[in-house]
Amino acid sequence: MDPLRLVETTPGKFSLLLDAGTTQVDEVIGQLGHEPNGYFWEGIAQFLVSSQAPALEGRLSYDPEAGMFCAYGDDRAALQELAALMSAVATDGERMRGLVESATAGGFEFDD
């Protein structure tokens, strides 16, 4: 799940966190014209859900900040599935490049 972490904030409530600006793909994100902040990572999460895991739609919420990505909810399994999808992208520059290029070509706009 690296570089993401899943924490139980209160009994039955979970947050999936990523410290923005600390991933292996930050340089690639910059080369693609984006800032590797929490809002960019929210866009990555939304695009992954819509394109690769539509069953996650509506099972979690987002609350990013400039320095941190956060998805939260009471569905631990949904957050774990999102973590697996995001981890694969956050640790592989070519995967990140392909995902951003695919999203942009499809008209998706990142809010970073």
Order across the sheet with 68-73: list the strands: 5-10, 13-19, 68-73, 61-62
C-alpha–C-alpha distance, residues 23 and 60, integer Å = 23
* Residue-wise pLDDT tens digits, 7-55: 999 999 999 999 999 999 999 999 999 999 999 999 999 999 999 999 9
Residue 112: the pLDDT is 86
C-alpha–C-alpha distance, residues 87 and 18, integer Å = 10
C-alpha–C-alpha distance, residues 55 and 33, integer Å = 30
* Residue-wise pLDDT tens digits, 90-100: 999 999 999 99
Peptide bond before 3: cis, by omega within 30 degrees of 0?
Answer: yes
Element (H, E) at 57: none
**Statement: residue 103 has pLDDT above 80:** yes
Bridge partners of residue 8, in order along the sequence: 14
Domains of the chain by start residue, with CATH: 5-100 (3.30.1360)
Q: Determine the residue type at 110.
A: F
Element (H, E) at 74: none
101 touches 89 (CB < 8 A):
no
